Structure 1
Amino acid sequence: MNLQQINEIICTPVSTLAELSSDSLFRLKNDAADQLAMAKALCEQVDRVLEQRYNTQAQQQRLSAGKDTGVVHFDDGEVHISADLPKRVTWDQKKLDEIAKRIAASGEDPGQYIDISYKVSERKYEAWPDNLKSSFSGARTLKTGKPSFRLSLLEETQS
């Protein structure tokens, strides 16, 4: 599928495309998936190229600015580069739980220092007896995700 074909499909009303044969929809979906995979691979390759080309300069800029992470800016010829090295912080949940308990034991509110959240595994919830489920049902909201459809050719599924 070339760029012109992609643009034509994008500009075609959904109602018109929905009238295509199932074979055509199958090919369209598979072609789109192939294009997406190739585009993702291309983006990943270009990102690796940019990292190799600009990482050292970005690290030097951050070092000069006295920071380990964040955004730095510099130019390469006619191109302005904004290099971001985001901060990814993770917290040890067991240690935070111990700290929260110590804070609570000292009479203070751990919520003043730590964001505390609760969640219930849906698999566990579904396995509970009804009387336990009813205690939790008021706190449970079910939302659906985006629908998806997989298409396969009949001869492939019958072989």
Structure 2
Amino acid sequence: MIAVAVLTDHIRDLDTGAVAALTTPELACIADDLAEQKASLNLVEDKLRAALDLKYGARAAQRRAEEAKDTGTVRFEDNGFVVVADLPKRVKWDQAKLRHAAEIIRASWGDDPDAYIKTKLEVSEAAFAHWPKPLRDVFLPARTVETGKPSYRIETAGEAERSAGRSEPHAA
């Protein structure tokens, strides 16, 4: 039996028709090679993400504390580069506690809870942030704030100035 050794590099310059004309074993070999490359790339990406978090996580947390925020994007300089550190916010709502909050609004306040709660019993984070404190306090037991995976981007100073103009203000 002859071993088939066709790798993704072999098809880089082929058009789709030429790739489709390959034998099934060749296509299987390419698919296997691609899966191995993806797994290897994911491993490298995970290591880089962990290394960036190890290197910059404390500075990013300090910058967020200085800016009085728990999540979001912060910027700081390192050796002539600007590190953009993002810690996304993920809010989850406890469905049973939201139902309880809805009943309080309906029974005790005589108000329609549908004005505050979506049908799926989700609460808009933007709306929650603007509610009066007594209303937020009713919903707080149902709310859990988690963070996503931190991400980092390293930009040259010129790139940082251009991207800062598009999004959040530049923090030195």
TM-score tier after normalising by the smaller chain length = 0.5 to 0.7
Which residue of structure 2 lines up, in the alignment, with residue 63 of structure 1? 65
- Count, aligned residues: 114
**Residue identity opposite 2:118 in structure 1:** D
User: Relative contact order (C-alpha < 8 Å, sep 6+): which is higher?
Assistant: 2
Match of 2:24 in 1: 22
The letter for the 2-side match of 1:30 is: D
* Partner in structure 2 of residue 41 of structure 1: 43
Task: Verify: 1:72 aligned to 2:90, yes or no.
Answer: no
Q: How does 1:1-150 map to 2 (within 5 A)?
A: 6=8, 9-105=11-107, 106-117=109-120
Give the partner amino acid of 1:110.
P
CA separation in 2, counterparts of 1:8 and 1:22?
15
Offset of 1:14 from its aligned partner? 1.9
Q: As a proportion of its length, which structure holds more strand?
A: 2
Identical aligned pairs, as a percentage?
A: 35
Question: How does the TM-score come out when normalised to structure 1?
Answer: 0.65
The 8 Å contact of residues 64 and 70 in structure 2, kept in 1 or not, is answered as: yes
Unaligned runs of 5+ in 1: 119-159
The alpha carbon displacement at 1:102 in A equals 3.2
For structure 2, which runs of at least 5 residues remain unmatched after alignment? 1-6, 122-172
The alpha-carbon deviation at position 12 of structure 1 amounts to: 2.4
Structure 2 residue matching 1:71: 3-state secondary structure: strand
Q: 1:16 to 1:96 in 2, by over 3 A?
A: same
Give the alignment's Cα RMSD to 1 decimal.
1.9
1:74 partner SS: strand
